[in-house]
Amino acid sequence: MTAQIIDGTAIAANLRAKVAAYSADVLARHGVVPGLAVVLVGNNPASQVYVRSKIKMTKEAGLNSIEHMLPETATQAELLAVVSALNADPSVDGILVQLPLPAQIDADAVIAAIDPAKDVDGFHPINAGRLMTGTGGLVPCTPLGSLKLLQSVRADLAGLEAVVVGRSNIVGKPMAQLLLAQSCTVTVAHSRSHDLPAICRRADILVAAVGRPEMIKGDWIKPGAIVIDVGINRVPDPAKGEGKTRLVGDVDFTAASQQAAFITPVPGGVGPMTIACLLANTMTAAAKRRGWPDPAL
């Protein structure tokens, strides 16, 4: 079998276009441009790349981008003061504090300080609890995007065996909750799991979010599975030349493509969906807070 590739770039562009259409509509109806605030602390190069991309896509979707860049030496009190001002600012619909934060800052305390109604990352314990209890709330962008990719190839996931490899608060745990809410039978595997290949071979749906390049091998994939590769790992690529690199996922794509029915590529799979879902969450948050109809993105 040669897997069909799930085109995250195209699906994300489609979602961003829906956000842009809703944004144009609320501008015409209410004279309001929803705002997304992004807070970056320090000089982490990967974070700088992500944040630049988020700001660009925010503007392209017709949303207001509010940017706060703090130095690497910023204190927790300084960051909490920024969050507090954004919470109180009625023109701000979404707040994202880019992670990781420098060591002197307690990330959990910062996340807990964000107004849950503006927590477009869905990391606040209130939103995590709402996801667990199925009571609404904002859902973390990467798992939400991964679910949309799954649903693009199979509308009804009920009864399927889903294996999530990775147990982070950002991806693994919320992904498991989303799949459970779709009536999958969910296993969360991780670095301490015994016989990971055997666990993966059970999966009709395999979500890889471990952050280890090409760790999941082709013969770990059940024939006909749907494979969602969340990993984005930069590895040396001597074929391209000395010092050159390329991006690979957590799955050995070439080998897995021979087993799976559907697979996401890296790049061009989950990555673009994360930012598209961030914009969608900003619209959802804006609509709820301002009393507009749910955009149903």
The residue type found at 143 is P
Angle between helices 270-290 and 45-60 (to 10 degrees): 60
Give the interface segment with ligand GUN, choosing from 28-36, 97-105, 233-241, 251-259 (CB under 6 A): 97-105
* Chosen residue from 82, 170, 186, 285 binding ligand GUN by CB under 6 A: 170
Catalytic residue among 93, 119, 121, 204: 121
Cβ proximity to ligand GUN, 63 vs 141, nearer residue: 141
DSSP reduced 3-state for 27: helix
What's the min distance (Å) between Cβ of 174 and ligand GUN? 10
* Chosen residue from 8, 41, 58, 98 binding ligand GUN by CB under 6 A: 98
The residue type found at 70 is L
**Is 244 a residue of the active site?**
no
Cβ proximity to ligand GUN, 97 vs 225, nearer residue: 97
The residue type found at 172 is G
128 binds ligand GUN (CB under 6 A): no
**Which structure tokens are listed for 44?**
């982490």
In order of 37, 112, 165, 178, 251, the CA distances from 6 in angstroms are 30, 35, 19, 19, 14
**Which structure tokens are listed for 232?**
């984005």
What's the min distance (Å) between Cβ of 86 and ligand GUN? 14
Q: Give the strand pairing for 226-229 and 205-208.
A: parallel
Give the interface segment with ligand GUN, choosing from 72-80, 82-90, 95-103, 210-218 (CB under 6 A): 95-103
What's the min distance (Å) between Cβ of 141 and ligand GUN? 5
* Chosen residue from 96, 110, 179, 203 binding ligand GUN by CB under 6 A: 96
**Is 121 a residue of the active site?**
yes
Give the C-alpha separation, 105 to 101, whole Å: 6
119 binds ligand GUN (CB under 6 A): no
8 to 47: interface string for ligand GUN, x by CB under 6 A: ----------------------------------------
Give the C-alpha separation, 297 to 287, whole Å: 11
Count of residues of this chain found to bind ligand GUN when the rule CB under 6 A is applied = 9
Per the CB < 8 A criterion, the answer to whether 159 and 185 are in contact is yes
Angle at 287 between CA 285 and CA 47, to 5 degrees: 30
**Is 4 a residue of the active site?**
no
Give the C-alpha separation, 188 to 199, whole Å: 9
Angle between helices 8-30 and 141-153 (to 10 degrees): 110
* Chosen residue from 142, 146, 257, 281 binding ligand GUN by CB under 6 A: 142
99 binds ligand GUN (CB under 6 A): yes
Give the interface segment with ligand GUN, choosing from 96-104, 177-185, 214-222, 235-243 (CB under 6 A): 96-104
User: What does R_g of the chain's alpha carbons equal in angstroms?
Assistant: 19
Give the C-alpha separation, 15 to 60, whole Å: 13
Cβ proximity to ligand GUN, 130 vs 222, nearer residue: 130
141 binds ligand GUN (CB under 6 A): yes
Catalytic residue among 93, 98, 229, 252: 98
State the residues that interact with ligand GUN by CB under 6 A: 96-99, 121, 141-142, 170, 274
Catalytic residues: 54, 98, 121
